[in-house]
Chain A
Amino acid sequence: MNGSPALSRRPDLAKIADHVPRGARVLDVGCGEGDLMAVLQSEKDCDARGMEIDAEAVAKAVSRGLSVVQGDADRDLADYPDAAFDVAILSQTLQTAQRPEWLLDQLLRIGERAFVSFPNFAYWRMRASLMVNGRMPVTRHLPVSWYETPNIHHLTVDDFREFLRAKDVGVENCWFFANGREIGGRRANWRAEHAVFQLRR
């Protein structure tokens, strides 16, 4: 799975693809042009559906033969029935949500299991950049200046863990990445550039 060319630049997606059960019903929220969906369908026989806010990306995904609905996760996830999917995926989108708590509730209402990935704002390069330059860091995973970034709820690995504890959401698994490679979980809040959590309601 990690060898899939479409996912080679997204180790978080490759990790998720590895851990989605074969044949699962999957909703990919913020699916973009459907790279992950395509892999899940072709390599794991999944019934993959997507939601994406950008019309051009939806058109591209549909033209690849994928089932993608243009919609705003902040609002339209409410339209899906309970337990409609085995797996709900939210990759690199939580930090753009108007209401992250509502969004996580929806993911675990719609899916039996959820994968959530996000950039870690406590990554040491971020901290150093803010410390040394005194300005909002612009990095590979947060590549846009503060005034035009879609990210409105920056979070850290420790913040997310605390959030899950408060909400009593079970963590089945988690993975961490830096410089495009997986790293161990030790001192992840400091060392991880971004994180993937596998959650269960």
Chain B
Amino acid sequence: MADRTDAPFRTIVLDHTLPLDSGRTLAGVEVAYETYGELAEDRSNAILIFHALTGDQFVAGTHPQTGKPGWWERMVGPGRPIDTNRYHVICANVIGSCMGSTGPASAGEDGAPFAMQFPVITIRDMVRAQVALLDALGIQQLHAVVGGSMGGMQALSFAANWPERTARVLAIATTARHSAQNIAFHEVGRQAIMADPAWNGGDYYNGAAPDKGLAVARMAAHITYLSEAGLTEKFGRRLQDRDAKSFGFDADFQVESYLRYQGLSFTDRFDANSYLYITRAMDYFDLAEEAGGLLADAFAGAGDTRFCLVSFDTDWLYTTADMREIVHALNAVAAPVSFVELSAPYGHDSFLLDVPALDRVVEGFIG
């Protein structure tokens, strides 16, 4: 176990080989992470936050690469709902990603990037790496695990597989199982990346990256993160920097221009192969299947863990109905569970945006 202070990211190298759900293993795994707030002497005040698909460990503070505020700056910090004056917040980059944790761009045994030789990973594999990080940090029990979207999947996976290691589980805008529709959208993104000639079977680290494919993948995904009402309110059919349609295929509409910007800016900070691997991990996610078919069985050991689940009424990616299934399963094992569907206009992305009711729920639940 060594802190690599020379690395651009603060990382820890796991001293054991990480077993994976696929049956393969990963040796010398690096986990990049950030912490905020002081760890109490009895180590009882740690909160582990899981990031979403395209997020990273910089949950608060200034992101060293983009110079922008952390992705949940409004939720995590001194005096914020997850108050770093009271809690020691840990956020790690998932394995498979590209912000310092071992992923397809990392060097394999032969010193060259893994690329598509990287093993296919699952949500549980990601959590396994995070549990190994907790072990390395000497933190046995957490005050809470918290996550939205893919982060929520990790929070649920943590509760199902390591229930004794957290007192609370807060899962926002997430699901216990990726649906056919969820998988379908991800497949569109992956095919866009693989159709980019620069992708080159994943072997592009010495040349141009498949930015066009990755940008299209991000554009398609971004639509699923918003709501129709949100898009209409923000853009309607308004034209971008012009008074009339061009009768061509420039970005006439503001919404087109917005999506192109979202796609392009994403390629600056994300690795296309990581996008393939992480979306695959989400597609494979099915907590009930892992437990033998019954979701309640997944939570059999979590009867004493406090849960709070939050959905948004305009989220059509991970719906209130999805989250109610989790509530039913938790009721079946008599776990103390809270659930609320909050009203917000922004669709799935509501968990990242200004929804004061979410702040109150989070603050109250974390305690």
| A residues neighboring B (CB under 8 Å) | 47, 49, 55-56, 58-71, 79-81, 84
Contact = CB atoms under 8 A, between A and B. Distances in A.
The 4 closest A-B pairs by CB, nearest first: A63-B364, A67-B336, A58-B340, A69-B339
B234 interface: no
A81 B341 contact: no
A59 B337 contact: no
Interface string B324-367: 10011001101011111111000000000000010011011101
B364 A79 contact: no
Given A59-B360, A81-B332, A84-B334, A65 B365 contact: yes
A80 B328 CA distance: 7
A56 to B, nearest CB: 7
Contact of A59 (B331, B334, B336, B361): B361
A55 B364 contact: no
A38 to B, nearest CB: 12
Given A47-B336, A69-B337, A79-B328, A63 B363 contact: yes
Given A65-B364, A69-B337, 15 more contacts: A49-B337, A55-B340, A55-B341, A55-B342, A58-B339, A59-B361, A62-B365, A63-B364, A63-B365, A65-B365, A67-B306, A70-B339, A71-B324, A79-B331, A84-B331
Contacts of A81: 331-332, 334
Contact of B342 (A59, A63, A79): A59
Contacts of A64: 364
29 contacts: A49-B337, A55-B341, A55-B343, A55-B357, A56-B357, A58-B338, A58-B339, A59-B340, A59-B342, A61-B338, A62-B340, A62-B361, A62-B364, A63-B363, A63-B364, A65-B365, A65-B367, A68-B338, A68-B339, A69-B327, A69-B337, A69-B338, A70-B339, A70-B340, A71-B324, A71-B327, A71-B339, A79-B327, A79-B331
B308 interface: yes
Interface of B: 306, 308, 324, 327-328, 331-332, 334, 336-343, 357, 360-361, 363-365, 367
Nearest to B364: A63
Contacts, number: 62
A149 to B, nearest CB: 24
Central interface residue in A65, A70, A80, by most chain B CB within 10 Å: A70
B193 to A, nearest CB: 39
Contacts of A47: 336
Central interface residue in A56, A63, A66, A79, by most chain B CB within 10 Å: A63
Contacts of B363: 63
Nearest to B363: A63
Nearest to A79: B328
Central interface residue in B332, B334, B363, by most chain A CB within 10 Å: B334
A68 B306 CA distance: 11
A67 B328 contact: no
A88 B338 CA distance: 17
B216 to A, nearest CB: 36
Nearest to B296: A81
A119 to B, nearest CB: 28
Contacts of B364: 62-65
A19 B68 CA distance: 56
A66 B334 contact: no
Contacts of A68: 338-340
Contacts of B367: 65
Contacts of B340: 55, 58-59, 62, 68, 70
Contacts of B341: 55, 70
Contacts of A55: 340-343, 357
A186 B364 CA distance: 45
Contacts of B337: 49, 67, 69
A56 B308 CA distance: 15
A65 B357 CA distance: 15
A148 to B, nearest CB: 21
Nearest to A61: B338
Nearest to B359: A63
A63 B362 CA distance: 7
A63 B361 contact: yes
Contacts of B331: 69, 79-81, 84
Contacts of B308: 62
A84 B324 CA distance: 18
Nearest to B342: A55
B327 to A, nearest CB: 6
B321 to A, nearest CB: 12
A66 B331 CA distance: 15
Contact of B360 (A63, A66, A84): A63
B351 to A, nearest CB: 14
Contacts of B328: 79
